[in-house]
Amino acid sequence: MRQLVVVDPEKCNLSLACIRTCPTKAIKIEETHATIVPGRCIGCGHCVMVCSQNAISYRDEKQIVKDFLASGSKVAIICDPSISGEFVDITDHRKFVAMIRGLGFNYVLEMAFGIDLLAFRYRDLLHNFHGKYYIHTVCPPVAAYVEKFEPELVENLARMVPPYVVMAKVVREYYGDDLKLVYATACVAAKDDARMHKDDGRIDGVLTFIELRELFKEFKITENNVEYSEFDPPIGRKGGLYPIRRGMLQAVDINQELLSGDIISANGQFDFKESLSEFKSQTGLKQHLDLFYCEGCVMGPGMSPGGKKFMRRSEVIKYVNKRLKGLDLVNWHEQIEQFKDLDVSRTFKAQDRRLPMPPDSEIRRVLHEMGKSKAEDQLGCGACGYPSCREFAIAYCQGLTNYEMCYSYSINKLHTFINKVNATNEKLKKTKEALKDSEEKARAGEMAALEAAEVTTIMLDKINAGVVVVDENLKIMESNHVFVEMLGEDAQTINDTIPGLKGAELSALVPFHRLFASVLQSGQDMLNRDTPFGNSIFNVSVFTIKKHKAVGGIIRDLTSPNVRREEVINRARTVIRENLETVQQIAFLLGESASKTEKILSSIIDAQKLGTDTTSSEEKTDS
Ligand code: SF4
Ligand code: SF4
């Protein structure tokens, strides 16, 4: 079965209203939402009432009840007297009873008779005073609170079952044990409490009045479509006053004890705790306590939201007075007599759920970390859900909250963060400006490089010799149009698609690519190497541009008429110069010079011859 009270993490917006209202520190803050610690929750349902996001809900038992009604079993419902404060919109209580019967219930009973019975037992307890003071409560959350958070006081709890259990016993004796019993109430805690009572006191399902209204709506039952119907017996007397303050005491006219000061009656979630701690103190109250958790059940969490406390109280009193007028007192006495020996006893068990108190040094450390070492920094604004900064620090040590829940801590952190963001923004701004500057410079550099490349290309094209630059893989990086033309038509076709033959393999284009490979490898320039190319002889000079990475070559076609003339002159000059030098050298060098001269002259003759042949064949073709 689902835990009684749960938080929907999707809806929780950490408003912390629930923490403020929870009497037992049963709500813990996870990273993004609140969560209920089941062992500490006493099911008071007040967190459900204060959550503006409707993020907290209690267990819905409508389906359980609908299943009973559809099962064919006899089903009875016991109505908490707060019903008169809840259904003020229904003109007559008999209409209300009829509407419940319309849902399919076989018996509709008031809890007031059970309260009457219990009130007599309570009066007996007070009248048989033997020096022990009692804490009397009909509220499941108060009993659970004492068991879990004031376990030393368990012995003082008056050992009586709550009135709905008394009534369950009465109903079973009256109508038989084969009934399914449902309790309609303003109390959320009764949903869990009911499960603890077994045998003839057991309750099979608990509906809040809110759930009961939802069932009316679902089955389209209104007071307009039902006829009057009365509650089934036994009928109660002043037990109907139970939902208001001191109602239980008034049920058996024990006001004199109140006046004489033997009983302190406290209600409301803060007063009941306060009265318990005073009851426990050394000096002690030396009085009985009569405790209600809420401001009377008329303000319980199972009532429709928005109801006015005093209006509801007055409705309850009006209703009881009306019922008293028609009450068959003789019959009531007979029935009280019939059930006077009903066993209403129960036991309570200490189940200490108090959290260990952290050492003072630890609390101070937390306050210091939160920037609240000094008393004046401890604002105690309550925004965190705890009444003081110290209480917050204790809750932090107990693992119930985290620093971010403290507004002043978060605001300080936010300020630090904002300052950091501002500083970062400033840095970013400067970096952006610097980037813009470098971008402009880079763009200018790029333009300059582009211009330089264009100039280089133009200059290369002005050179009356083939020029080619290759990378370490002998791929062409740059070449001029003379080089392309020297290679013939195929190269020119490629050049039309890839200007400058960029990326082409040099080895696929010229047979003297090894010269380039050799210079790339050695780093030594090779100048003026004559090499045949088709019918031509090329003069190739290869030199390093970037060692082992890029080399350039200047290629001249020695068979071209222009080059030929120039080459003849150059080489004749070389011969004359070398011959002059030779004349000046000693005799043994004469032989070497003569042989070199012979070689050079032969090469010139070959070049001349080839040029002449080419020219004459071209001339022939032209003619
Ligand atoms: S139901 Fe009551 S005890 Fe439980 S978490 Fe909510 S406020 Fe706390
Ligand atoms: S006052 Fe009534 S509704 Fe509130 S906790 Fe007690 S029994 Fe439940």
Per-residue pLDDT tens for 167-226? 999 999 999 999 999 999 999 999 999 999 999 999 999 999 999 999 999 999 999 999
Under the phi-then-psi rule, with left for phi > 0, alpha for psi from -120 to 50, and beta for the rest, what region is 620? alpha
Each residue's pLDDT tens digit, 438-494: 899 899 988 888 887 787 778 888 888 899 999 999 999 999 899 999 998 888 988
One DSSP character per residue, 521-543 reads: HH---EEEEEEEETTEEEEEEEE
Q: Which of 296, 288, 315, 185 is nearest to 248 (CA)?
A: 296
Which residue type is seen at 184? A
Task: Give the pLDDT confidence of 414-447 residue by residue, as tens digits.
Answer: 888 888 899 999 999 999 999 999 899 899 988 8
Rounded CA separation 400/34 (Å): 10
**Tally of CA atoms within 13 A in the half-sphere of 298 that contains its CB:** 24
Angle of helix 329-338 relative to helix 112-127, nearest 10 degrees?
70
Who contacts 10 (Cβ-Cβ below 8 Å, separation ≥6)?
55
User: Residue 49 pLDDT > 90, yes or no?
Assistant: yes
Task: Please name which of 134, 125, 143 lies closest in space to residue 285, comparing C-alpha atoms.
Answer: 134
Report the amino acid identity of residue 141. Answer: P
What are 7's strand-pairing partners? 56
Residue pointed to by tokens 């001269």: 597
Element at 291 (helix H, strand E): strand 288-291
Euclidean distance between the first and the last CA atom of the chain, given in angstroms as a whole number: 114
Q: Is the peptide bond before 358 cis (omega within 30 degrees of 0)?
A: no
pLDDT of 607 higher than 90: no
The minimum-distance atom of ligand 2 relative to the CA of 296 is 1
In whole angstroms, what is the distance from residue 206 CA to residue 195 CA?
A: 10
Do 6 and 43 form a contact (C-beta atoms < 8 A)?
no
What does the block give as tokens for 556?
């001249």
**pLDDT band at residue 614 using 50, 70 and 90 as cut-offs:** very low
Q: 160: closest CA among 172, 176, 142?
A: 142
Pick from 502, 440, 447: which is nearest to 475 by CA? 502
Query: Which ligand is closest in space to the CA of residue 295?
Result: 2
Pocket test for ligand 2, best of 187, 245, 291 (most atoms within 8 A of CB): 187
If you take atom 2 of ligand 2, which residue's CA is the nearest one? 297
**Three-class secondary structure of residue 621 per DSSP:** helix
- Residue of minimum CA distance from atom 7 in ligand 2: 139
Task: Give the percent of the chain with pLDDT over 90.
Answer: 57
For residue 558, the model assigns a pLDDT of 85
Residue to mutate, 80, 86, 139, ligand 2, most ligand atoms under 8 Å from C-beta: 139
- Alpha carbon of 47 to ligand 1 centroid (Å): 6
Nearest protein CA to atom 8 of ligand 2, as residue: 187
39 Cβ contact partners less than 8 Å away, ≥ 6 residues apart: 148, 353
Contacts of 508 (CB under 8 A, 6+ apart): none
Task: State how far the Cα of 108 lies from the Cα of 101, in Å rounded to an integer.
Answer: 7
CA dist., res. 555 & res. 574, Å (int): 20
Q: Could you give the ipTM of this predicted complex? A: 0.83
DSSP secondary structure code for residue 371 in this structure:
T
Domain boundaries in the chain? 60-338, 358-435, 463-557, 563-622
Q: Looking at the predicted structure, is the pLDDT value of residue 562 above 80?
A: no
> Ligand 1 in contact with 385 (CB < 6 A)?
no
For residue 492, what are its two tokens?
């020119």
Q: At what angle do helices 209-218 and 93-103 cross, to 10 degrees?
A: 70
Lowest mean pLDDT among 48-57, 376-385, 536-545: 376-385
CB of 300 closer than 6 A to ligand 2? yes
Superfamily the domain 463-557 falls into: PAS domain (3.30.450.20)
User: Alpha-carbon distance 545 to 471, whole Å?
Assistant: 10
- Contact of 236 with 113, CB cutoff 8 Å: yes
